Amino acid sequence: MYSTREELELGYRYSIQLEKQLSINNDLILNQYINSLGQRLVQSSNRKNIPYTFKIVNDKSINAFAIPGGYCYINLGLIDLAENEAELASVISHEIAHVVGEHGMENMTKQQIIGFAGAVILGGRPTLTEEIISSIIQRGVLTNFSRGAELEADRLGIEQMHAAGIDPIGFESFLKKMRDKEKGESSGFSNMLSTHPPTDLRIKKSFETRTSLSQKKYDVDDDSFLKMKQQLNRIYKKSNNN
């Protein structure tokens, strides 16, 4: 229905529009850490032939999302909630899996794909392309996934972690953290929970997937996670003073 080139083009243009509205964090330590963790998971995925970009959003709410073409966004608030590398990797791995499963593109109607593909070929009419992309984005086509797609992203995400040597128990442990937060009054989630299947179901399924995997010795955290968290705390302190 569409080519990889079209998906990359759509993702790139979407990322440009998105980043006009987001504040992207440029801290070197944070970005190097998130990028290397992300690329490590990508290398263990079933879709390594496209480039992936990992960006940190200056936003204290707990959220992460991915758009077609390999663009993944992770909020500072989510990095703050993760207590070890496996927990943080679980969210990044889930987002990579949405790209691997092409869940955003899957949501597009034939008409939207034809319209977009035609606009890309015409090329000379950038406003038309922008209009078509805007209408696709506004309908939430590329970021609102079905329950089936969400559960598939969990399953693929766990498999990617396993293959990368990162303990997939981080999935359950982070989901439980989210469930506990969910019960609190001001949970701090933007729309992460409302756009995903019930957390209890995700925990149950994650357990099933994890325990079905082969036995493996997973990596132990080196001090890079800790160093990244220390830097995050410095940034948080700074922004609290402002």
Q: Please give the residue ranges that form the binding site for Zn ion (CB under 5 A).
A: 150, 153
SS3 state of residue 62: strand
In angstroms, rounded to a whole number, what is the distance separating the alpha carbons of residues 88 and 86? 6
95 among known catalytic residues = yes
In angstroms, rounded to a whole number, what is the distance separating the alpha carbons of residues 93 and 189? 19
Indicate the residue among 67 and 166 with the shorter CB distance to Zn ion.
67
CB of 9 to Zn ion, least distance (A): 23
Indicate the residue among 74 and 153 with the shorter CB distance to Zn ion.
153
Task: Please identify which residue in the block is written with the tokens 């696709």.
Answer: 136
In angstroms, rounded to a whole number, what is the distance separating the alpha carbons of residues 196 and 200? 11
CB of 235 to Zn ion, least distance (A): 26
Helix (H) or strand (E) holding 73: strand 71-75
80 among known catalytic residues = no
Catalytic residue among 7, 95, 150, 159: 95
Catalytic residue among 154, 159, 167, 172: 154
Indicate the residue among 91 and 228 with the shorter CB distance to Zn ion.
91
CB of 199 to Zn ion, least distance (A): 12
Burial environment of residue 188 by CB neighbours within 10 A (0 to 12, 13 to 18, 19 or more): middle
Count CB atoms within 10 A of the CB of residue 217: 7
Indicate the residue among 95 and 167 with the shorter CB distance to Zn ion.
95
CB of 19 to Zn ion, least distance (A): 20
Q: Name residues whose C-beta falls within 8 Å of residue 44's C-beta, 6 or more positions apart in sequence.
A: 160, 161, 163, 164
Q: Which residues are catalytic?
A: 95, 154
